[in-house]
Chain A
Amino acid sequence: MIQIDHVTKRYGETTVVDDVCLSIPKGGVTSIIGANGAGKSTLLSIVSRLLPSDSGSVTVDGLDVATTPSGKLARRLAVLRQENHMSVRLTVRELVAFGRFPHSGGRLTSHDLDLVDEAIGYFELTDLADRHLDQLSGGQRQRAYVAMVLCQDTDYVLLDEPLNNLDMRHSVQMMRRLRRMADEFAKTVVLVVHDINFASCHSDTIVAMKNGKVIAQGDTAAMMSPDVLREVYDLDIDVHDLSGHRIGVYFS
Chain B
Amino acid sequence: MESVECTDSTGGRPVRGGSPDRGRVRLWHIVTGGVLLVLSAFGSLFVGVAEVTPWGLLHADSAAVLVFLESRVPRLLAILLAGMGMSVAGLVMMHITRNRFVSPSTAGTTESASLGVLVATLFAGSEAVFVKMGVAVVFALAGTFLFLVILRRLTFSDMILAPLVGIMFGAVIGSVTTFFAYRADLLQTLATWTSGDFSGVLRGRYELLWLAGAVTLLGYLYADRFTVAGMGRSFSINLGVAYDRIVNTGLVLVAVITAVVVVTVGDIPFLGLIVPNLVTIVLGDNLRRILPVTALTGAFFVLICDVIGRLIRFPYEIPVATVVGVVGAGVFLALVLRNRNRTA
Contact = CB atoms under 8 A, between A and B. Distances in A.
A79 B230 contact: no
Contact of A70 (B98, B235, B240, B280): B240
A102 B242 CA distance: 12
Contacts of A75: 240
B17 interface: yes
Interface string B275-290: 0000010001110100
Contact of B285 (A74, A85, A88, A131): A88
B263 to A, nearest CB: 32
B238 A79 contact: yes
A69 B286 CA distance: 25
A105 interface: yes
Contacts of A211: none
Most buried by A among B24, B227, B237, B242: B237
Contacts of A88: 95, 98, 227, 230-231, 285
A91 B18 CA distance: 13
Most buried by A among B231, B233, B239: B239
A98 B228 contact: yes
A40 to B, nearest CB: 16
Contacts of A98: 224, 227-228, 231, 239
Interface in A121-152: 127, 130-132, 135, 149, 152
Given A71-B241, A131-B17, 14 more contacts: A48-B237, A50-B238, A70-B240, A70-B242, A71-B240, A72-B240, A73-B240, A78-B238, A94-B284, A102-B240, A106-B224, A130-B24, A135-B17, A152-B238
12 contacts: A50-B233, A69-B240, A70-B237, A79-B234, A80-B238, A81-B234, A87-B100, A90-B286, A98-B239, A102-B239, A130-B24, A152-B238
Interface of B: 14, 16-18, 20, 22-24, 95, 98-100, 223-224, 227-228, 230-235, 237-242, 280, 284-286, 288
